[in-house]
Homo-oligomer: A and B are copies of this chain.
Amino acid sequence: MNFASDNTAPTAPEIMAALVAANQGSAMPYGNDDLMVQVRARIRQIFEAPEAAVYLVATGTAANALSCAILVQPWQAVFCHRNAHIEEDECGAPEFYTGGSKLVLVDGDHARMTPPALDRAIGFTGRGGVHNVQRGMVSITNATEHGTVYDPKAVKALADVARSYGLPVHMDGARFTNALITAGCTPAELTWKAGVDVLSFGGTKNGCMGVEAVVIFDPARAAEFEFRRKRAGHLISKHRYLSAQMLAYLTDDLWLRLAHQANAAARHLSNGLSAIPGATLVHPTEANAVFAAWPRSGHRRAEGGGARYYLWPGDQSLSGPDDEPLAARLVCSWSTTEADVEGILALIRG
């Protein structure tokens, strides 16, 4: 019953099997392995983007920060939601990689930027000429940090605002497949057809051991990615093990099945929680994370029963009145079982 993060889950067996299978003989390092040729072809096929540049790195923060670094100048702004992962959970990686760009924060319920709020933020920036940080790029987290999803229409609405200012668009898709399942569209529709220029396409949170793809739809923007990746120490020498993961992930729809399982578990959990007296959802459950509040007594029982998750925000305390509702984040993964969900619900119900 570990709902602390999708990062606590193990590697999917198919992916582990692929790693074992890749462990034969020698392979050229640094992305020159044969498997990478297949990965590149597969991602281009899935995204209907035969020209896209495709790179692999080991972490989502690397994928995001490198993506920003090729889209924005140091004196420009990255527009993102106030609760974006790049703002809240990367210890300033975008600032480091971009050489000091400024993240300008955009509002919107449930961690989703609204087009008018984005328009205001961009419009307000860089009006004073050389004295101001300039308009740079837009970054959209999908699924969001609050477990909600932008569908293609919502992505396009934001990208249209970006385009109206001439700005490129990045999508932080650490949980891209969870969003895709919910959006019920094609990968192309959720990305470049909606105006996304560069995608961080996550694998780690959805069953891989540690691999993320960066998909650069306009290959002209790819020129400097390779130097920045190497210079950051993110060019993996025994690269075949990244390739093997990503290839297995994209074979036989594994990526879709894993995200489907995680989303289904979250929906199950969300529905179960909603039915508990005194419990409420804090954000709609649209991907694999549930944000809900319920009475402190239920939290005490859950903790006592061995369930793991984070109170959200973290400064709430299990000490206090029984009835007071405390909010929490519960993240489901591909490995979350029905028994896990039923187990925590039973504990909370008491």
Contacts and interface: CB of A to CB of B under 8 A. Distances in A.
Interface of A: 2, 4-5, 7-11, 13, 16, 19-20, 23-30, 57-66, 73-75, 88-93, 95-103, 127-128, 130-134, 204-205, 209-210, 224, 226-238, 241, 308, 313-315, 335
Contacts of A91: 75, 130-134, 227, 230-231
A134 B24 CA distance: 34
Contact of A16 (B20, B62, B92): B20
Contacts of A93: 230-233
* Integer count of this chain's copies in the complex: 4
B11 A26 contact: no
A301 to B, nearest CB: 20
Interface centre among A26, A58, A88 (most CB of B within 10 A): A26
Contacts of A89: 128, 131-132
B315 A131 contact: no
Nearest to A16: B23
Given A10-B27, A210-B241, A233-B234, 19 more contacts: A5-B29, A10-B24, A11-B23, A19-B209, A20-B20, A26-B308, A57-B233, A59-B237, A62-B232, A64-B233, A66-B233, A74-B95, A75-B227, A75-B230, A90-B231, A91-B130, A96-B99, A96-B100, A130-B226
A227 B7 contact: no
A234 B27 contact: no
Contacts of A132: 88-89, 91
17 contacts: A4-B26, A7-B238, A8-B27, A10-B24, A16-B19, A57-B233, A62-B234, A64-B233, A74-B99, A75-B96, A75-B228, A89-B131, A96-B99, A96-B232, A99-B99, A131-B230, A232-B232
B237 A90 contact: no
A201 B7 CA distance: 26
Contact of A102 (B20, B62, B66, B103): B103
Given A128-B89, A210-B238, A210-B241, A233 B61 contact: yes
Contact of A92 (B74, B92, B127, B235): B74
B20 A65 contact: no
A146 to B, nearest CB: 15
A101 B96 contact: no
A58 B61 CA distance: 14
A209 to B, nearest CB: 5
Contacts of A209: 19, 238, 241
